[in-house]
Amino acid sequence: MDTVSKKQRHINMSHIKGKNTSLELKVRKRLYHDGYRYRVNVPNLPGKPDIVLSKYNTVIFINGCFWHRHNCKLTTTPKTRTEYWNKKFERNIQNDLINHEKLRNLGWHVIVLWECEIKESFEPLIESVENELNQYYLNDHL
């Protein structure tokens, strides 16, 4: 059973941001500091990627573990309306797969960063992303 009223739950859920989250800002700030230039939430690309690095033909999605169902401790399922939530999560997963495939078919390289990875090991994760960007760019331009 839910510990807060329906009205309070609605208020809580309405405050969950869809873009410009603290994790997105952290990743974007670091990439910009390291010389990478990008666009955000480009509407004409499938899934409106969080970060678009056109020079590298790469998009980055920064996924919340709860909403996109990463296999970690942050991926919980609400105890009420479980059927509703499971359908919602399944739609999110399917949309992610479809959008990633569409992007790949358009020639984009897709990188997915997970909330828990950013929180637990930010520096090594960003270094790995930068290595991947540079490797992908070099392979594409040789």
Q: Which fold would CATH assign to domain 17-135?
A: Endonuclease; Chain A (3.40.960)
CA distances from 91 to 37, 78, 97, 99, 140 (A): 32, 16, 10, 12, 33
CA distances from 14 to 17, 49, 80, 98 (A): 8, 21, 18, 26
What is the pLDDT at residue 10? 65
How far does CA 123 lie from the centroid of its chain?
A: 17
Domain locations in the chain as residue ranges: 17-135
In a structure prediction context, what are the per-residue pLDDT tens digits for the chain, which is 142 residues long?
A: 567 787 876 676 666 666 778 899 999 999 999 999 999 999 999 999 999 999 999 999 999 999 899 989 888 888 888 999 999 999 999 999 999 999 999 999 999 999 999 999 999 999 999 999 988 878 776 5
Q: Are 65 and 89 in contact (CB under 8 A)?
A: no
What is the pLDDT at residue 81? 87
List all residues 6 or more positions away from 127 whose beta carbon is below 8 Å from its beta carbon.
Answer: none
What is the pLDDT at residue 18? 66
Strand partners, 61: 112
